[in-house]
Amino acid sequence: MSPGPFFAHHTHAAGEEPAASWRPLSEVLDDGPVLRDRVAQVQAVLAAGGGDVELRVAASVAHLGLAARLLSPALASALGEAAVPDYADAWWQPTVGGAFPLSLPKAEPSGEDLVELFDRRVLSGPLARLDTAIGAFSLSETIRRGNVASALNGAMTMLHSERPEWTDEATAFVGRLEALPALADTATRDRGRFRRKSCCLIYRAAPAHDGPKCGDCVLV
């Protein structure tokens, strides 16, 4: 059983094209109409609360959700199967909000160091591509990198709760990931408590741009 919706995904044979309802994940990783529509949808949802939501705030919230959706199944696969799926052959189904349906090729153990494989197939793959696209919304690199770190920590925290037998391995694995160039110096850990060095900006979605801060925010 999946630990939660952000971990759940379909599988397909490598190189196999899913049914017509599936779309290539690549279309949401680049600065194009699909990603821009998704950011606009997030902006509309946030603005429903009565705030004047800046585009960069919506972009940050959308980016954080997308990062969590991409990181979570890969982390669970690395810890549970000693394998990392290849996101170059990934598919999705557009939905508004939440964890959209995701289909990944069946991951198989390769014998390669899992941290290096995770970096190449996830952090330096789809997440790096998404990072470039989200940068077009005037969202700083510091916030973008912090969003990825926060999404990874959130996935690890959920696995600690749902898969307690993985706790030590997950903590060590994520610690190695956090030392990689893609995530280095994005956050601190004090007695295990994660605190990012940036803010995702969601507090600015509230009226007067004065909403509550996230528990791991640098502003808390």
Write the CA distances from 183 to 112, 143, 148, integer angstroms: 21, 12, 8
- Could you tell me how far CA 98 lies from the centroid of its own chain? 12
Q: Which residue has the tokens 């090729």?
A: 105
166 close to 159: Cβ distance less than 8 angstroms: yes
28-55 core/surface letters (b: 16 or more CB in 10 A; e: else): bbeeeebbbebbebbbeebeeeebebbe
In this model, does residue 105 exceed pLDDT 60? yes
59 close to 135: Cβ distance less than 8 angstroms: no
Average pLDDT over the chain, rounded to an integer: 92
In this model, does residue 77 exceed pLDDT 80? yes
196 secondary structure, DSSP code: E
135 close to 193: Cβ distance less than 8 angstroms: no
Q: Tell me the backbone φ, ψ of residue 129, rounded to 5 degrees.
A: -65, -45
Half-sphere exposure of 56 (CA within 13 A, CB side): 14
Show the CA angle centred on residue 34, arms to residues 158 and 91, nearest 5°: 55
Q: What is the pLDDT of residues 32-63, one digit of tens each?
A: 999 999 999 999 999 987 778 999 999 999 99
Instruction: Read off the pLDDT band of 2 (50, 70, 90).
Output: low
Instruction: Read off the pLDDT band of 5 (50, 70, 90).
Output: confident
**195 pairs with which residues across the strands?**
188
Instruction: Look at residue 166 and give its three-state secondary structure.
Output: helix
Q: What is the pLDDT of residues 107-153, one digit of tens each?
A: 899 889 999 999 999 999 999 999 999 999 999 999 999 999 999 99
In this model, does residue 3 exceed pLDDT 80? no
**Tokens linked to 59:** 């972009």
**Tokens linked to 70:** 């991409």
Q: In the chain, where does DSSP find H-type helix?
A: 33-47, 55-81, 114-118, 126-134, 141-162, 167-178
